[in-house]
């Protein structure tokens, strides 16, 4: 894997890994600020970007594939901008120092997944009363016109509608915001099921009045 100061030329062409002293600001469905610290930054040619700390596997912040990634200078500081338009989200990484930068072209190889999102979703649907008191299943992969497809929609023992969103991996702010769109569209309560939750996701779920349950495949 080559390393050096020419990493900027490889933007949108290779996977770039930086070890940098940086500040991170996000504005979109929510907003967040991460103070200046040394972090690992991974930039992929599909437009995705991830920022990691020294703990855990879940990124501190990230943007999904399809984001437009550019490098600019703001107030004399080199800055990575990752912009997504639908929905509008902006991730700004201010690079105060870069210890090292490397890039390469990894391949996927062969990958076999044991235990899937669908397995967890159907397990919950088949035992909906365990998750929602008096729960009765309304639908699986329930289409909400103009908003998307909810994993599960159910009604509890008091006749209140629930949307259940299932995540195979750790749930983040995007998962909570997705559930909020669905619950608002259906005037329903929300339940998010995932093997773990980022601290930001927990806080936002509490703010919106959602239940969260930790469960894995």
pLDDT at 217: 65
pLDDT at 146: 86
**Rounded CA separation 133/130 (Å):** 7
Residues in Cβ contact with 130 at an 8 Å cutoff, skipping those fewer than 6 apart: none
pLDDT tens digits for 1-55? 688 888 999 998 999 999 999 999 999 878 889 999 999 999 999 899 999 998 8
Burial level of 66, CB count in 10 A (0-12/13-18/19+)? exposed
Given a contact cutoff of 8 angstroms between Cβ atoms, the answer to whether 103 and 44 are in contact is no
**Res. 113: pLDDT tops 70:** no
31-43/15-27 β-pairing = antiparallel
Model pTM score: 0.55
Looking at residues 164-175, what average pLDDT do you find?
91
pLDDT at 115: 60
**Rounded CA separation 171/47 (Å):** 21
Looking at residues 144-169, what average pLDDT do you find?
91
Looking at residues 48-66, what average pLDDT do you find?
86
List the CATH code of the domain at 117-214: 3.40.1350.10
Sign, CA torsion 88/89/94/98: negative
**Res. 94: pLDDT tops 90:** yes
CATH 3.40.1350.10 domain span(s) along the chain = 117-214
**Rounded CA separation 3/6 (Å):** 8
Model confidence at 86, pLDDT cuts 50, 70, 90, reads confident
**Rounded CA separation 181/173 (Å):** 13
Cis amide leading into 112 (omega within 30): no
Residues in Cβ contact with 26 at an 8 Å cutoff, skipping those fewer than 6 apart: 32, 33, 61, 89, 90, 91, 92
Q: Of the candidates 24, 30, 65, which has an alpha carbon nearest to the alpha carbon of residue 179?
A: 30
**Res. 112: pLDDT tops 70:** no
CATH 2.70.180.20 domain span(s) along the chain = 5-104
Give me the CATH topology for the region 5-104: Protein Yojf; Chain: A; (2.70.180)
Model confidence at 168, pLDDT cuts 50, 70, 90, reads confident
pLDDT tens digits for 172-186? 999 999 999 999 999
């Amino acid at each position: 894997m080559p390393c050096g100061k020419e990493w900027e030329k490889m933007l949108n062409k290779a996977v770039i890994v930086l070890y940098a002293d940086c500040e991170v600001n996000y504005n979109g469905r929510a907003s967040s600020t991460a103070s200046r610290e040394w972090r690992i930054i991974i930039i992929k040619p599909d437009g995705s970007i991830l920022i990691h700390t020294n703990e855990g596997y879940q990124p501190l912040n990230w943007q999904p594939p399809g984001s437009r990634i550019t490098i600019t200078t703001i107030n004399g500081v080199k800055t990575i901008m990752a912009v997504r338009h639908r929905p509008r989200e902006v991730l700004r990484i201010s690079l105060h120092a870069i210890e090292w930068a490397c890039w390469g072209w990894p391949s996927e190889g062969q990958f076999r997944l044991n235990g899937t999102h669908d397995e967890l979703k159907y397990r919950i649907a088949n035992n909906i009363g365990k998750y929602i008191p008096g729960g009765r299943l309304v639908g699986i992969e329930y289409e909400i016109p103009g908003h998307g497809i909810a994993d599960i929609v159910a009604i509890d023992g008091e006749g209140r509608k629930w949307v259940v969103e299932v995540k195979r991996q750790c749930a983040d702010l995007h998962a909570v915001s997705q559930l909020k769109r669905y619950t608002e569209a259906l005037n329903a309560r929300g339940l998010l099921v995932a093997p773990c939750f980022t601290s930001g996701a927990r806080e936002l779920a509490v703010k919106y009045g959602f239940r969260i349950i930790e469960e894995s495949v």
